[in-house]
Structure 1
Amino acid sequence: MADRSRLFSIDDLPSHLILEILTSGKRLSAVDLVSLELTSRTFGGCHGVYPTKCRSLVDLAAFQLCMTNGIYIGMNCSSQRDIFERCDGNWKRLLRFLQSVEQSSDMVQTSAGNMQITTGRYHTLLIRNSSVYSCGSSLCGVLGHGPETTQCVAFTRINFPSLANVIQVSASQNHAAFVLQSGEVFTCGDNSSFCCGHRDTGRPIFRPRLVEAMKGIPCKQVAAGLNFTVFLTRQGLVYTCGTNTHGQLGHGDTQDRPTPKMVELLERVGSVVQIAAGPSYVLTVTDNGVVYSFGSGSNFCLGHGEQQNEFQPRAIQTFKRKGIHVLRVSAGDEHVVAVDSSGYVYTWGKGYCGELGHGDEIDKTLPEHLISLKGQLAVQVCARKRKTFVLVDGGAVYGFGWMGFGSLGFPDRGVSDKIMRPRLLDCLRDHRVSQVSTGLYHTVVVTHRGRMFGFGDNERAQLGHDTLRGCLEPTEIFIHEMEDEATLLSESR
């Protein structure tokens, strides 16, 4: 009879079983795989499997995870070859790129838990391990804490229904939207324009409320524009509601919608994988890398070379003609930035203050490749009022545009208050950044260790510091009211 008390080492397991463990169950990050490879001879050996393609068992696991990644599957063969070469033929680095891009518009995995940071105009929202926190100025209930709360100096947890796990959040000047693990969407804020998806517009919604019209239609992402909201379902369909003055709801007219309505044209062009909302325009990215835009054509933000409004989604032909597979876009107040499947960055729109990064202040009517970042592998792009951030593979951050209030992260303001080309944020060099978000005058980043740093204006407490003084350099942000799991469970009951 076998001795059941005998202890087994991971080295005793056959390689195919170890591979199964690495590629199934809870998804491992590329960083996890690298750590395993460095700490154990078992993971670092090739074991005679795919010796010409993979250098180790961990490398094989990374290869298989890439083969099943949704972003990678959506690329054509040429794009797959290009990004593999850009990653120096390293499957682990390619996996890190794919996972980093996925998390750029979602939650990021950090050693302190899953997190997402989102900046509104004068406030900031944070998801940490499914709980949501907010700080800053409350305009019509946008902080979600009730009518008695007009400002939160420190991050304060928002109360949701019992056991509600929030996985994504978006915030605009006057409202916020939250996606739960269940796919349900909650909103709060000023609903006078129907942007919260509820028919009653008499008074603000001071606490998150379920959008009844989307019940039974599970969502995975929301994007809050100025007085309108965009919903992306798990099936890749897009719904919109709110103000429609410029056709930003995408239904072919300028009629406002009190509750979410599906954008029918997008249903016919493929599955949408990401959405972004500017003040009065929308960008959507499909699984085959095509970008569609609609709404206000001001400042050339729609990317069609003209400033006319588009009442229905229209594909940006510059990308299609050049065979560029776009992965993610960020919609700023007056300009747009995108990253493609090779980690290259493109900008277009208003060039004032250098926020397009091309060394001038000239408007770009069509998407233009940002040559100065050609040597970098971009994984996230972030645009807001007159400034842009690019997060690259490895966790370094580049910024360019207007330096006002210190929200660009460069304290050494000289003759000019503009950064015309991408410049590395040296002040964050010691931290591997996982996500960046910028508001009107402030910016917040999250590192791979789950630490948060903010810089810029703090007059309305949007940085979550005890003092309302602004920060010219990144200053760490702490959450003083972080409850433990037991407390959360007791409250939910």
Structure 2
Amino acid sequence: MLATLVAALCLTGLAAPSASAQQSPPTDIALAWGINDFGQVGDGTTIQRDAPVNVHLPAGVELIAVSGGERHSLGLTSDGRVLAWGLNGQGELGDGTRTDRLTPVETLLPAGVHATAIAAGGEHSMALTSDGRVFAWGYNSSGQVGDGTTINRLTPVEVHLPAGTQVTAIAAGLLHSMALTSDGRVLAWGFNRYGQVGDGTTTDRLTPVEVHLPAGVQVTAIAAGDLHSLALTSDGRVLAWGFNSSGQLGDGTTTDRLTPVEVHLPAGVQVTGISGGDAHSLALTSDGRVLAWGNNGFGQLGDGTTTTHLTPVETLLPTGTQVTAVAAGGFHSLALTSDGRVLAWGDNLFGQLGDGTTIERLTPVEALLPAGVHATAIAGGYLHSLALAVRAESSTTLTASPTTVAPGQPVTLTAHVTCTSGTPTGTVEFFDGNRFIGSATLDAQGNATFTTTSLGLGIHQITAHYLGNADCPASVSEPVTVTVAVVPVASLTLDKRVVSEGPFKVGDRVEYAYTVTNTGGVTLHDVTVTDDLVARVTCDVTTLAPGASTTCRGTHMITRADVTPCTSAKDRGGEKGHGRHRVMRCEVTNTATATAIGPDGAQVTSNEASATIIVKVEKEKEKERCRKHHGHKKVYGGDRCDDHGGHHRRAAQQA
């Protein structure tokens, strides 16, 4: 394999396929691995690295993008500067020297220039500025620097863009360069022997010319392979042009193309990202899959074979993997997953896959990122790889239900854990202050639920402690307050008395007074009294604080129905008088209850309270009533009529 690789390098030269580097949140963690003969890994050594190591960034520097060249690397800082390290024989580091650098140095951009994107080519470099200009430096044999000359540049010079052009993205190939304009056009310049500039010729271009895109096409992204070029259209198609010896243009042929042709994507596929390698190409689909085409001698297409493909085939990602970015190296490929892992496949002679070996991989394997970080951007150099990463973090939130309870009442605690890297698994422990009260295991949704009845009287500060795992560090929730208290009881009592003075007879109006008292610990409202004889009872107040009372009043006019039948008042002396004019003494009892509404909306009901009055009823009137209604029937006693035949007997005794 080494002999094959060396022959390939001698034939084509080393390339650094690159596009405007993917943006990342600012981070001080830059990783690199693979060949390191000129310090392109940036760790201060020239030792080959088979797994990712930290780039030695200057103190306080944070990067938002990286890009890999032939034997050099670039980093874009969060404040718009460019760092560079590795081979510098042609000035590709842009520091004004030809001295190789084992750790990053600052590229000497013109004063006031703020870089927003970077691209590393074979032995030249590019930067896009915040005002839409492009600067380039390094090797310029074919005009790839774009300043109208073939003079190598040790510091950045401005690319001679057409007047009025605003650039939004850049890409660098082996010996050519590309720019995407704000209106969706593509410019290219430099080496053009195979048509990679895309202007329909094979003439090298020392300044940018417009790529001959199909009519009506709007481009949203660009990428440069070694000797070919790629463009992503606004409707998710991919165009390609230039060298096509291995089918890297994806049009089903090996014919070089001097202007863009459409890649034969599978039906229905929408592409969102592209990248070009030495002689292969990658595409990211809208549903997180990876397609690849072109040279596959080292397994760089990732389909499990070493068969070259002239049209796209699907890379065999691990089950369930969602990819968010792709990057092609010389003969290897990289993918960034949605959970912050880096997958790699293809040539691995120099450890550029980062899996700790130098074994060629025909399908993706995981790069061995340091513990506790997850990747946010990737870049492929020719024989090395780069990534930006952030430290893994977890966040734990806690809810309690209910938050106010009585002693012994259950409280359900629910913790939810999220991670910036990996999936939260394992255990959550719950604490009442410093006292451990229980634990629960996270489910697939990152939730852990625990119910406790052990909280004593008082106020409790409950926290959830996620213990973490290899990919997701530990975290502690903010405290949640749970109050355990004796819940006040709602209680109501009723006292009833007769206000009017007797004796009473049918037709008299009797006045009653009711005293309603709140004997509980909560305020009651909507106090009402219901009496089984009194039609309407009114109260002085209808809201009672704990311990408060109110007086209610109601009246009732005694009717004949109240004393029919008559319940004798035996303890009151029975009947008085003699003969036909004796008087009955009848008891009339009525019962009342009070109700109110508590603060929780529930109804509170008092005890039953009753009052009894004695109503005098003349027996003569009762006798006349019996004669009127029963004619010949004989009248017995004081309160009812019985038949002559004796079939009925008096039910109530005479007083």
Q: SS of 2:88's equivalent?
A: coil
Residue number in structure 2 paired with 1:450: 340
Contact 2:20 2:169 in 1 (8 A): no
Please state if 1:360 is matched with 2:263. no
Q: 2:270 aligns with which of 373, 377, 391?
A: 377
Going from structure 1 to structure 2, the CA distance change for 1:204 and 1:351 (only over 3 Å counts) comes to same
Q: Structure 1: which amino acid aligns with 2:234?
A: S
Alpha-carbon distance in 1 for matches of 2:305, 2:142: 40
Q: SS of 1:405's equivalent?
A: coil
Residue number in structure 2 paired with 1:433: 323
Q: SS of 1:265's equivalent?
A: coil
Alpha-carbon distance in 2 for matches of 1:349, 1:317: 12
Q: Structure 2: which amino acid aligns with 1:140?
A: F
Q: 1:186 aligns with which of 80, 83, 89?
A: 83
Please state if 1:394 is matched with 2:287. yes
Going from structure 1 to structure 2, the CA distance change for 1:368 and 1:149 (only over 3 Å counts) comes to same
Q: Structure 2: which amino acid aligns with 1:327?
A: T
Residue number in structure 1 paired with 2:649: none
Q: 1:145 aligns with which of 43, 63, 76?
A: 43
Offset at residue 199 of structure 1 (A): 1.8
Q: 2:191 aligns with which of 282, 291, 296?
A: 296
Going from structure 1 to structure 2, the CA distance change for 1:373 and 1:304 (only over 3 Å counts) comes to farther
Alpha-carbon distance in 1 for matches of 2:316, 2:97: 49
Residue number in structure 2 paired with 1:276: 171
Q: SS of 1:399's equivalent?
A: strand
Residue number in structure 1 paired with 2:140: 244
Going from structure 1 to structure 2, the CA distance change for 1:428 and 1:363 (only over 3 Å counts) comes to farther
Contact 1:345 1:373 in 2 (8 A): no
Alpha-carbon distance in 2 for matches of 1:350, 1:315: 18
Offset at residue 270 of structure 1 (A): 2.1
Alignment map for 1:463-474 (pairs within 5 Å): 463-474=353-364
Alignment map for 1:307-318 (pairs within 5 Å): 307-318=202-213
Alpha-carbon distance in 2 for matches of 1:213, 1:385: 29
Structure with greater helix share of residues: 1
Offset at residue 432 of structure 1 (A): 1.1
1:23-71 deviation per Cα after TM superposition (whole angstroms, max 9, x unaligned):
xxxxxxxxxxxxxxxxxxxxxxxxxxxxxxxxxxxxxxxxxxxxxxxxx
Q: SS of 1:173's equivalent?
A: coil
Q: Structure 2: which amino acid aligns with 1:456?
A: G
* Larger RCO (CA within 8 A; separation ≥ 6): 1
Offset at residue 155 of structure 1 (A): 0.6
Please state if 1:206 is matched with 2:122. no
Alpha-carbon distance in 2 for matches of 1:153, 1:289: 40
Alpha-carbon distance in 2 for matches of 1:235, 1:379: 25
Alpha-carbon distance in 1 for matches of 2:115, 2:267: 35
Q: 2:155 aligns with which of 235, 240, 259?
A: 259
Q: Structure 1: which amino acid aligns with 2:80?
A: G
Please state if 1:107 is matched with 2:23. yes
Alpha-carbon distance in 1 for matches of 2:204, 2:305: 40
Offset at residue 382 of structure 1 (A): 1.1
Q: 1:235 aligns with which of 131, 147, 151?
A: 131
Structure with greater strand share of residues: 2
Q: SS of 2:213's equivalent?
A: helix
Offset at residue 163 of structure 1 (A): 2.3
Alpha-carbon distance in 2 for matches of 1:485, 1:412: 35
TM-score, length of structure 2 as denominator length: 0.52
Alpha-carbon distance in 2 for matches of 1:287, 1:138: 37
How many residues align structurally?
Answer: 359
Q: SS of 2:269's equivalent?
A: coil
TM-score, length of structure 1 as denominator length: 0.69
Contact 1:104 1:379 in 2 (8 A): no
Q: Structure 2: which amino acid aligns with 1:259?
A: T
Contact 2:302 2:362 in 1 (8 A): yes
1:74-104 deviation per Cα after TM superposition (whole angstroms, max 9, x unaligned):
xxxxxxxxxxxxxxxxxxxxxxxxxxxxx98
**Unaligned 5+ residue runs, structure 2?**
1-18, 374-389, 393-655
Residue number in structure 2 paired with 1:20: none
Alpha-carbon distance in 2 for matches of 1:245, 1:139: 24
Residue number in structure 2 paired with 1:490: none
Residue number in structure 1 paired with 2:239: 346
Alpha-carbon distance in 1 for matches of 2:204, 2:40: 29
Offset at residue 294 of structure 1 (A): 0.6
Alpha-carbon distance in 2 for matches of 1:252, 1:212: 21
Q: 1:195 aligns with which of 92, 100, 119?
A: 92
Going from structure 1 to structure 2, the CA distance change for 1:482 and 1:210 (only over 3 Å counts) comes to farther
Q: Structure 1: which amino acid aligns with 2:64?
A: I
Offset at residue 107 of structure 1 (A): 2.9
Offset at residue 348 of structure 1 (A): 1.0
Residue number in structure 2 paired with 1:167: 64
Which shows bigger deviation, 293-302 or 470-479? 470-479
1:152-193 deviation per Cα after TM superposition (whole angstroms, max 9, x unaligned):
222111121222110111111121111000001111112221
Q: SS of 1:450's equivalent?
A: coil
Alpha-carbon distance in 1 for matches of 2:317, 2:130: 38
Alpha-carbon distance in 2 for matches of 1:302, 1:104: 17
Going from structure 1 to structure 2, the CA distance change for 1:149 and 1:370 (only over 3 Å counts) comes to closer
Contact 1:301 1:336 in 2 (8 A): yes
Q: 2:201 aligns with which of 302, 306, 313?
A: 306
Contact 1:157 1:481 in 2 (8 A): no
Contact 2:20 2:117 in 1 (8 A): no
Contact 2:264 2:311 in 1 (8 A): no
Contact 1:431 1:447 in 2 (8 A): yes
Alignment map for 1:28-67 (pairs within 5 Å): none
Offset at residue 220 of structure 1 (A): 1.0
Offset at residue 368 of structure 1 (A): 1.0
Contact 2:304 2:363 in 1 (8 A): yes
Contact 2:20 2:118 in 1 (8 A): no
Going from structure 1 to structure 2, the CA distance change for 1:137 and 1:303 (only over 3 Å counts) comes to same
